[in-house]
Amino acid sequence: MFVSRGAQVSLKTPISLTSSSWFHGMPGMSSSTWPSAYGAIYRQHLWVAAVVNKRANAVARLPLPVYRRDELNRPRADDHPLAVLLSNPNPALSGFDLWVWTQATRDIFGEAFWLKKRRGGAVVALYPLHPASMEWVEKDAHWKFDNGSLKLDRVADSDLVHFRSFNPDSMTRGMSPLEPLRSTLENEWHARNATSSFWQRGARPGTALVHPKTLSADAQTRLKAQYDAIAAGSGNTGATVVLEEGLKPEKMTLTAEEAQYVETRKLNREEVCGAYDVPPPVVHILDHATFSNITEQMRSMYRDTMAPVLKGLEATIDLDLRQAEWPQDEVYAEFLMDEVLRGDFEARATAYRAADYMTMAEKRKSENLPFIEGTDRIFLNTATLPLDVIDANASADAEPPELPDNVIPFPVARSVMGRLSWQKTLRDVDAAVLTVGLDDDHAKSVVQALGLEMSVGGDVPALRERIRSMAKE
């Protein structure tokens, strides 16, 4: 007997998986008397727990900033009430803990609830409500919550954030992913039960005690108990057994290898991964993993498995929180997967070199490097020149005017020419590197000299000569 939603449930309702009859003739798990069985499955089955935990932590580890809608930019809205709620939902839970609970509960029970706590009509906190204690009252169109210690009557739909999985039989309640796994979990349980029984009997297969004559029921019971007391159990392995006259032991059941318990359990764990759409290598099932495919399968966890899950969570937040509480505010919350999908350093460096649309400052920020003054400009990949210089050169005459002599000091000129010691062509010259440490006037003069030489098809020696001619005492 146990309590569900404050009421005693029939003795026929299982509270554990200690009997194989748990599965046979069982009514639908999504019925009102069965939700607590989902928790028992999670506690009893290793691979269900492993996959659920992996998905829950995969969601919770991602940043969830709030942005303001803008056609050109993505300004952060960290001071918006939605952002504050998602980062600090209530005094008892951090944002990470709330998402672990939410995603794990949704993956076990098919749904999860947040209760909006209000103060003066405004939402000031979010509290999780367990779906096993939730009941939808169709007549009055409201929810009831009763877990035996806390009871909430007439909870309006507008006071809840309801995350739910697809349920073919209901638009109100979600369906647990464990439903399609029922036969798989039954096989897993029987395999584990058989293996446990095998070891309890000293890792011996079943034994028949053969007697040439007919024995009475009492004699059979006595001889069986006598044999089990001497030989059963792993602690009695190798024990010497003395049988009564005429008794002969014979093995009569298959060995664990013949019954293919290992292969059966491998199939079961892969079916659990399939039900939750998790690549097996993600939970360290490496039977078919190779060096070339395991990295791609790890990325597939977020790209293919978690991406639709995250979009569903974002949609629920937008519908039940943003639209319900701040309908006039053009803000949205978005899970960021940049960190988990980023490649290795070599791949990132190659991508940065091709990213002409990014400033050096943005690239450094992506690598968590500090800002350097002067790196917040966009340079063309072909010439590594500022856009304004390219525009000025495009509008200049075919024969560009010569720069006045003696426009930079000799020490500056020597420093700049020293930086032109290895480049083979002007395309190898990086204007930002060439002018690092120079004041704005000197840097502008050097960049203009570089632009002029490029516009007339010059080379590195010509650029060195031009800079030398610009030097003065």
* Helices 440-455, 460-470: crossing angle, 10 deg rounding: 140
Centre a 10 Å sphere on the Cβ of residue 467 and count the other Cβ atoms it contains.
Answer: 25
The answer to whether the Cα torsion of 92, 95, 99, 100 is positive or negative is negative
Name the residue among 262, 222, 261 with its Cα closest to residue 243. Answer: 222
pLDDT for the residue 254 = 55
Burial of 175: CB neighbours in 10 Å, binned 0-12, 13-18, 19+: buried
* Residues listed for the chain: 473
Question: Does an H or E element contain 471, and which?
Answer: strand 471-472
Centre a 10 Å sphere on the Cβ of residue 416 and count the other Cβ atoms it contains.
Answer: 25
Weakest-pLDDT range from 2-16, 373-387, 412-426, 456-470: 2-16
pLDDT for the residue 55 = 94
Q: What is the pLDDT of residues 39-80, one digit of tens each?
A: 888 888 888 899 999 999 999 999 999 999 887 678 889 999
| Average pLDDT score over residue span 299-328 | 92
The answer to whether the Cα torsion of 389, 391, 397, 399 is positive or negative is positive
Give Cα 405 to chain centroid, integer Å: 62
Name the residue among 173, 249, 174 with its Cα closest to residue 211. Answer: 249
**Which of 314-323, 410-419, 464-473 is the most confident on average?**
314-323
pLDDT category of residue 440 using cuts at 50, 70 and 90: confident
pLDDT category of residue 25 using cuts at 50, 70 and 90: very low
pLDDT at 318 over 70: yes
pLDDT for the residue 232 = 66
| Average pLDDT score over residue span 367-379 | 76
pLDDT for the residue 127 = 96
Rounded to 5°, angle at Cα 240 from 239 and 245: 140
Q: What is the pLDDT of residues 116-163, one digit of tens each?
A: 999 999 999 999 999 989 999 988 889 999 988 899 999 999 999 999
Weakest-pLDDT range from 90-104, 213-227, 234-248, 339-353: 234-248
DSSP single-letter state for residue 121: T
CA distance 383 to 274: 51
Higher pLDDT, 18 or 35: 35
Reduced to 3 states, what is the DSSP secondary structure of residue 355? coil
pLDDT for the residue 200 = 58
